[in-house]
Amino acid sequence: MKRAALSRRVLVATALLVGAGCAAPATTYRPVHAAPTELTVRYGDEFEVWAADAPVARGLRYQGLDEVVRCVPEAKRHAEAASRSGSAAGVLSGFSIGLAVGGLAGLSGFAFEDDRVTAAFLVSGVVIEALAIVLGGQSLSQKAKANGHALDAVNLYNDAVGYDGRGCGPAVAPPSLP
Amino acid sequence: MPRQLQQTRRRILLSPACAPLLHACTQAAETAAVPASRETPQELSRHLLRLLLALGLAGAAGCGYTSTYVPPDDGRARVVWRDGSAAALVPAQSEACWRAVQKASGTTQPLVVDPAPAASVSHGGYVHLPVWVHVHHPHHHLHDHGHHAAIAHSGASPSGPHKAVSAGAPSGGSSSVRSSSTDFRLLIAAATVALVSAPVVAIALALDEPERPAEVAAAADLVNALNDLTRAPGSPCAATAEVTP
């Protein structure tokens, strides 16, 4: 009984230690003197853009960032590019993982006794895997673009209207239909 | 020089950022063009894996994004995108200010300011600090620019394995049946190893993040704390910084 209890404790302690070691790094500082219109960058599992102590956009898609920075044309352009790249990264990641898994079907070539057929299946699988790797690399590249554009958008907006408290004003609601 | 190799070289040269990969990519293309019959399964699978890795690197080539943002000289700190990750771009501050930043950001890690960072880059009056936060050794920087730099355009076509097939296939009947059979066995062994290993590489690339989370979090905390302190009345940072409203 004592041994079982000890084993449980060791298991729990190990799980806690592993969990603590795997905790994703995150920002801990909360700005208190930032202007209400100022955008600040924080980081949890991903990039986050905050204004007035509330998140306005987060990576990788950065939805809503272009609306917040809309009155600074260059910042808006970067925010839109960030959103596009983030979306592209998601699609590319999905295709890459799908192809990586699908390419394993090439191993089914071992079901055939003819070496040529087996080789054809395997090589087809390798070609698919090569494509998956290229798409995975492209996905990584698009993620970098998304984050880079988003940071540029934040900085350009803050330089223009964020730090001085002007901001872009409230979001313009679309005209209501009669 | 095989046509495939020439194409690979040309495509890679189109992207100057991909220059460091030129050797790896061309070497991989060269090895893919080598007739398979002279290789052991281990060597062949190693060449195939190298080709796949080169493809991944070529796919990620270009470091993704190069920011051209230059901050105004207004005394504020910023999180910027440099060398494939986020970094803190901060104006020079006094020792007292740095200590206050460390205290305010609440980090348990000792912040160590390198008075003359060897890798620092000036940006219009700013210093692009490596994230100089470290636990054990005061002069050891966490920041290691460039490793995650990833790159944009795909360089090589996935035709290498096809070529290996044709190279290994019996042609014209001049080679013995035993030799061609051995070629196929070699090809099958190499392709199996590559096929089992490649999904790990692909999925790792697809799920990976270009930034280094610990450094990004540290950089953001540093910037937010420093900007706050420069606006906090009576703080040592407010005394040394002139922040425009």
pLDDT value of position B34: 45
A·B CB contacts under 8 A: 256
Of the candidates A33, A43, A94, which has its C-beta nearest B231's C-beta? A33
Domain extent listing, chain B:
3-64+177-207, 78-148+211-240
What is the DSSP secondary structure assignment for residue B132, as one 8-state letter?
-
- Any CB–CB contact under 8 A between A71 and chain B? no
Closest partner CB to B210 (pick from A34, A127, A143)? A143
Place of tokens 């969990």: A19
Q: Which residues of A94-103 are buried (b: 16+ CB within 10 A; e: fewer)?
A: ebbbebbebb
- Residue A93 carries which side chain, given as an amino acid letter? S
Question: Who has greater pLDDT, A110 or B124?
Answer: A110
Contacting residues of A for B106, CB less than 8 Å apart: 28-29
Average pLDDT for A110-131: 89
Residue with tokens 């697809």: B206
Residues 13-52 of A with CB under 8 A from B: 24-34, 40-43, 45-47
* Domains in chain A: boundaries: 23-162
Residue A109 clears pLDDT 50, i.e. is over it: yes
Q: What is the pLDDT of residue B97?
A: 85
- Across B72-86, average pLDDT: 86
Residue indicated by tokens 């079901």: A111
Mind listing the pLDDT tens digit for each residue in A5-54? 656 665 555 555 555 455 678 888 888 888 888 999 999 889 999 998 88
Percent of chain B with pLDDT over 70: 43
Residue found under tokens 């940006």: B123
Name the residue of chain B whose CA is nearest to A91's CA: B206
Strand partners, B88: B79, B129
Indicate which of A134, A135, A143, A163 best probes the interface with B, i.e. most B CBs within 10 Å of its own CB: A134
Question: Quick count: other Cβ atoms within 10 Å of Cβ A70?
Answer: 17
Decide if B231 touches A, using CB distance below 8 A: yes
Hey, what are B214's tokens? Answer: 């610990």
ipTM entry: 0.79
A172-176, B58-62, B167-171 — most confident range: B58-62
Please judge whether A34 and B227 are an interchain contact, meaning their C-beta atoms are less than 8 angstroms apart. Answer: yes
With beta carbons less than 8 A apart as the criterion, state whether A136 and B59 touch: yes
Report d(CA A168, CA B29) in Å as an integer: 52
In this model, does residue B20 exceed pLDDT 90? no
Burial class (CB in 10 A: 0-12, 13-18, 19+), B52: buried
At B62 the three-state DSSP class reads strand
CB contact under 8 A, A137 and B58: yes
Q: Which two tokens stand for residue A33?
A: 């003197």
Rounded mean pLDDT, B210-224: 88
Look at residue B199 in the predicted model and tell me its pLDDT.
Answer: 93
User: Does B11 have pLDDT greater than 60?
Assistant: no
Closest partner residue to A148 (CB to CB) among B59, B67, B208 is B67
Distance CA A51, CA A40 (A): 6
Tell me the C-alpha distance between A149 and A74, whole Å.
11
For tokens 């190298």, the residue is B50
Interval B193-201 mean pLDDT = 91
The answer to which of A26-40, A52-66, B142-156 has the lowest mean pLDDT is B142-156
CA-closest candidate to residue A34, choices B225, B216, B235: B225
